[in-house]
Each structure stands twice: as structure tokens, then as C-alpha cells.
């Protein structure tokens, strides 16, 4: 099944390269649902830059520190009846391992690049206090060529303190439209 999807993606990729048309991953919406036991004062919004790009801003104040945090990353693709279905990505990564660079697999590396560039997290866990993200967007250079369409990246955060079961921290839903780049006329 996954092998076949791999082949289809490879052919799709060849087609894109030959057709020489660029794709963009334009953010269309962002929603944050923090658990108030962990984070308050949350804001989450997009700012439009141009036809091809919108960037995300996020702020919140952590009540409890993030010490051993995992993220369940799921990707969904929207169908013709506006329903979202699981699509290719369904993985759990340990955020603190990524930040301390003990986790080098693909999603981990992608995640770390994003965290380092767009958030105020520049040190290893625990993470405390004010958490922010600025000018966050999905760089198409980091992405495989997905089929055109509408996608939802769902990020569910959990805290695994040493002395108890995992606790839900919050969910971030990031909606993205994969589309042909709109050529912007030079002024
Ligand atoms: C949330 O915002 C209010 C008003 O700005 C502030 O007084 C409070 O300290 C903030 N909460 C935390 C946990 O930082
Ligand atoms: C992290 O960022 C803060 C504020 O930008 C800065 O003061 C601090 O030196 C940075 N720490 C590291 C380890 O880069
Ligand atoms: C950190 O969380 C992982 C699960 O993601 C768990 O297996 C591990 O025991 C935790 N480590 C500590 C020190 O709490």
C-alpha cells in the first residue's frame, strides 16, 4: 500500500519537475485549542502576505512547564464533500528530544527547523512562560510534492511527566491549500 503510494508520488514528482510549475503550500487557517490547565491567554491567527503566502502568529502563557512533551502529527486531505480523511502522515515525535537533537528522523528534523526559525524556543526542555511563534509558514522546499488540494495538519501535544500518565496539553490545527503558484507581476 505505502510502496504503491510512494511510486505514485515519485511519478507525480517527475511530472511536476518536467512541467516546471511551482507548488505553494498556502496557509488558509489556524486554530489553537489549549487545555487551560496548561496554557492560557492563547491567540492564534494568520496574516496574509500575498496570493501565495500567509503567515501564522501564536502566543500563549504556559501555566505548567513542558518537560517531556510529545506531539501526535496527523495529516488529513479534504475530499469533494469537504470531509477530511487521513493522508500519509500519522506519527508521534518527542518534542524535547527533537529540541535537544536526540531525534534525527525525518519529521523530527523538519519540526526542529520550524521551531528554531519561527518560535522563541531556542533551548532544551523544560519550556516555561510565554510561548510565541511569528511569521510561521510551510516552506515548500521542505515538503514533498503533495497532490493539489486542501489539507489539515493536526498537532496534538501531550505532556509525559515522569510520575504519571500522559496529559493533554492542546491541539493546533493548521489548514493548508496546496496549489499552483500565482505568478506575481514585478512592479
Ligand atoms: C494572562 O494575561 C493576563 C493579562 O495580560 C496576565 O495578567 C496574566 O499574568 C497572564 N497569565 C499568565 C499565566 O501569564
Ligand atoms: C534564546 O533567545 C533569547 C531571547 O531571544 C536570548 O536572550 C538567549 O540568549 C537565547 N539563548 C540561546 C541559548 O540561544
Ligand atoms: C518521556 O516520555 C516518554 C513518552 O513519550 C516516556 O516513555 C518516558 O518515560 C518519559 N521520560 C521521562 C523522564 O519522564
pTM of this prediction?
0.82
Residue 73: closest CA among 155, 144, 172, 150: 155
Ligand nearest to the CA of 129: 1
Question: How much distance in Å is there from the Cα of 121 to the middle of ligand 2?
Answer: 9
Ligand nearest to the CA of 59: 1
Is residue 123 in contact with ligand 2, taking CB distance under 6 Å? yes
Q: Which pLDDT value is given to residue 98?
A: 84
Q: Which pLDDT value is given to residue 3?
A: 47
24-180 has CATH 3.90.400.10 classification: no
- Which of 65, 91, 160, 164 should be mutated for ligand 3, with most atoms under 8 A from CB? 160
- Which of 123, 127, 132, 134 should be mutated for ligand 2, with most atoms under 8 A from CB? 123
The cell for 116 is: 528554531
What number does the ligand 2 atom closest to the CA of 123 have? 13
Q: What is the DSSP string of 36-92?
A: TTTEEEEEEEEEEEETTEEEEEEEEEESS-BSSEEEEEEEEEE-TTS-EEEEEEEEE
Q: Domain spans of the chain?
A: 24-180
Q: Which pLDDT value is given to residue 87?
A: 94
Residues with C-beta less than 6 Å from any ligand 3 atom: 68, 70, 94, 160, 162
Atom 11 of ligand 2: nearest residue by CA position? 122
Q: Which pLDDT value is given to residue 18?
A: 45
Return phi, psi of residue 18, to 5°. -65, -40
Per-residue pLDDT of the chain (187 residues; tens, 9 = 90+): 444 545 555 555 545 544 446 889 999 999 999 999 999 999 999 999 999 999 999 999 999 999 999 999 999 999 999 999 999 989 888 888 888 876 666 667 777 888 889 999 988 899 999 999 999 998 888 778 889 999 999 999 999 987 788 999 999 999 999 999 888 665 5
Strand partners, 73: 91, 155
Q: What is the DSSP letter of 120?
A: S
Q: Which pLDDT value is given to residue 9?
A: 53
Amino acid at each position: 500500500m505505502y510502496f504503491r503510494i510512494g511510486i505514485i508520488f515519485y511519478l507525480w514528482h517527475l511530472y511536476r519537475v518536467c512541467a516546471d510549475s511551482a507548488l505553494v503550500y498556502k496557509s488558509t487557517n489556524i486554530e489553537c485549542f489549549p487545555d487551560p490547565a496548561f496554557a492560557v491567554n492563547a491567540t492564534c491567527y494568520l496574516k496574509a502576505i500575498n496570493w501565495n503566502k500567509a503567515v501564522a502568529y501564536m502566543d500563549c502563557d504556559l501555566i505548567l512547564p513542558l518537560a517531556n512533551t510529545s506531539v501526535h502529527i496527523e495529516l488529513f486531505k479534504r475530499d469533494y464533500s469537504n470531509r477530511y480523511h487521513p493522508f500519509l502522515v500519522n506519527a508521534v515525535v518527542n518534542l524535547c528530544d527533537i529540541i535537544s537533537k536526540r531525534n534525527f528522523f525525518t519529521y523530527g528534523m523538519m519540526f526542529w527547523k520550524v521551531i528554531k526559525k519561527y518560535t522563541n524556543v531556542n533551548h532544551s526542555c523544560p519550556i516555561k512562560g510565554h510561548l510565541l511563534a511569528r511569521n510561521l509558514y510551510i516552506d515548500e522546499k521542505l515538503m514533498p510534492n503533495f497532490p493539489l488540494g486542501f489539507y489539515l495538519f493536526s498537532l496534538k501535544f501531550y505532556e509525559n511527566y515522569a510520575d504519571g500518565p500522559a496529559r493533554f496539553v492542546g491541539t493546533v490545527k493548521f489548514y493548508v491549500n496546496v496549489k499552483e503558484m500565482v505568478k506575481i507581476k514585478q512592479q
